[in-house]
Amino acid sequence: MLIIDAHLDLSMNAMEWNRDLRLPVAEINAREQGLTDKPDRGKATVSLPELRKGNVAVVVATQIARYVAPHNRLPGWHSPQQAWAQTQGQVSWYKAMEDEGEMTAITDLASLEKHLALWNDGTPNDSKPVGYILNLEGADSLVTLDHVERAYNYGLRAIGPAHYGPGRYAQGTDATGFMGKVGQDLLKEMERLNIILDATHLCDDSFWEAMDHYNGPVWASHNLCRALVNHNRQFSDEQIRELINRDAVIGGALDAWMMVPNWVRGQSTPEGMNCNLEVLVDHLDHICQLAGNADHIGIGTDLDGAFGREQSPYDLETIADLQTVPNLLRKRGYTETDVEKIMHGNWLRFLRRAWK
Ligand SMILES: [Zn+2]
């Protein structure tokens, strides 16, 4: 089954974790044995060969760099200019992967359909490039609004205005407050360029303000449900209904603390908390029950998004194991048509409408 994963921090892994994603995951992990600088060392689940093995033809891949004001304790850059430079290094890495034939940029309908034809041609995937759509997770690095068009010109097609904490254009997870004039101006510029709004990570105030002011395409690349795990990072049923009304697609994430309640970072284990891929289906099914159909969910794993196997479903060794999800859906009673929609079809419908 063809899979689209709408959220992977590939360049962050390459540039900050120093992972050569051309290698098999086992090799990446072997080289990290003994490293203790990050909690997920030696526990990677994502690399380009694993994506091919899992028939993950298209990913939404991020640029990510936060600006932090002096009082802000989150990790991040001390000026927007430094954050911009960081994201430019990340773009450079994606372009280098293109040069190697490892990845290919998907920026419009023509490149999307050409790429799908290649992956559907019946030949093995071993040497096919992984298609990527560029998404900016947190807009802090856009030094001025003129930088939005500069970024569009090198391929940026989606922006999540916020990430964790307070942002320059919007307030994110664990923060509160509105986007204000500067955030609304960002939305206007995105609308002019037909850049997809990623609603993930917007705090409630900023989320509703964005819904009021943005008239372009909206998706949520990696989100789960507040009704199942109560945290502001998750969507309330009211927010999910709003996204359904806008024909959005919500990507189900595989970060264990969002999947099961009462997760304690660094202490809980996926086995101990009974966190497996079935739990993802619980969240996806909750959204389908609200929608009355399976048209608004997809996959947006966030795997290796600053966590590894220690904080991922225990029945997933690498991202290639996403291929077990279709059977879990079938066992829940989803039809073959619905399973295809969830694994890739809904993202494709969304993109074909957004880019027509
Ligand atoms: Zn995220």
Centroid of chain to Cα 197: 12
Give the long-range contacts of residues 119-123, CB within 8 A, separation 24 or more: 119/2, 119/55, 119/57, 120/2
Q: What percent of the chain has pLDDT over 90?
A: 100
Cα(201) to ligand 1 centroid in Å equals 7
In Å, the largest CA–CA distance within the chain is: 55
Q: Read out DSSP for 308-324?
A: -GGGS-TT-SSGGGGGG
Cα(282) to ligand 1 centroid in Å equals 20
pTM of the predicted model as reported, rounded to 2 decimal places:
0.98
**Under 8 Å CB-to-CB from 13, ≥6 apart: which residues?**
19, 21, 44, 46, 304
Are 68 and 16 in contact by the 8 Å Cβ rule? The answer is: no
**Under 8 Å CB-to-CB from 230, ≥6 apart: which residues?**
261
- Listed residue (125, 104, 101, 109) closest to 2, CA to CA: 125
Cα(38) to ligand 1 centroid in Å equals 17
DSSP-derived 3-state class of residue 85: helix
Cα(299) to ligand 1 centroid in Å equals 14
Are 165 and 172 in contact by the 8 Å Cβ rule? The answer is: yes
The mean predicted confidence, pLDDT, of the chain is 98
Q: Read out DSSP for 90-119?
A: HHHHHHHHHHTTSEEE--SHHHHHHHHHHH
The mean pLDDT of 85-104, rounded to a whole number, is 98
Are 171 and 178 in contact by the 8 Å Cβ rule? The answer is: yes
How far apart (Å, rounded) are the C-alpha atoms in residues 57 and 348?
A: 12
CA angle 50, 328, 127 (to 5 degrees): 20
In the block, tokens 């994201």 appear at 87
Q: What is the pLDDT of residue 215?
A: 97
**Under 8 Å CB-to-CB from 188, ≥6 apart: which residues?**
213
Q: What is the pLDDT of residue 101?
A: 98
- Residues 163-182: tens digit of each pLDDT: 999 999 999 999 999 999 99
> Inter-axis angle of helices 277-291 and 237-245, to 10 degrees?
60
- Listed residue (109, 122, 165, 49) closest to 349, CA to CA: 109
How far apart (Å, rounded) are the C-alpha atoms in residues 356 and 141?
A: 29
Cα(140) to ligand 1 centroid in Å equals 14
Cα(222) to ligand 1 centroid in Å equals 7
Cα(302) to ligand 1 centroid in Å equals 7
Confidence bin at 143 (pLDDT 50/70/90) = very high
Cα(197) to ligand 1 centroid in Å equals 14
- Residues 261-291: tens digit of each pLDDT: 999 999 999 999 999 999 999 999 999 999 9
Cα(223) to ligand 1 centroid in Å equals 8
Are 315 and 273 in contact by the 8 Å Cβ rule? The answer is: no
353 CB-contact burial (10 Å; exposed 0-12 / middle 13-18 / buried 19+): exposed
Centroid of chain to Cα 187: 19
- Residues 212-264: tens digit of each pLDDT: 999 999 999 999 999 999 999 999 999 999 999 999 999 999 999 999 999 99
Confidence bin at 210 (pLDDT 50/70/90) = very high
Cα(109) to ligand 1 centroid in Å equals 26
- Residues 24-81: tens digit of each pLDDT: 999 999 999 999 999 999 999 999 999 999 999 999 999 999 999 999 999 999 999 9
Cα(123) to ligand 1 centroid in Å equals 34
Cα(178) to ligand 1 centroid in Å equals 19
How far apart (Å, rounded) are the C-alpha atoms in residues 142 and 150?
A: 9
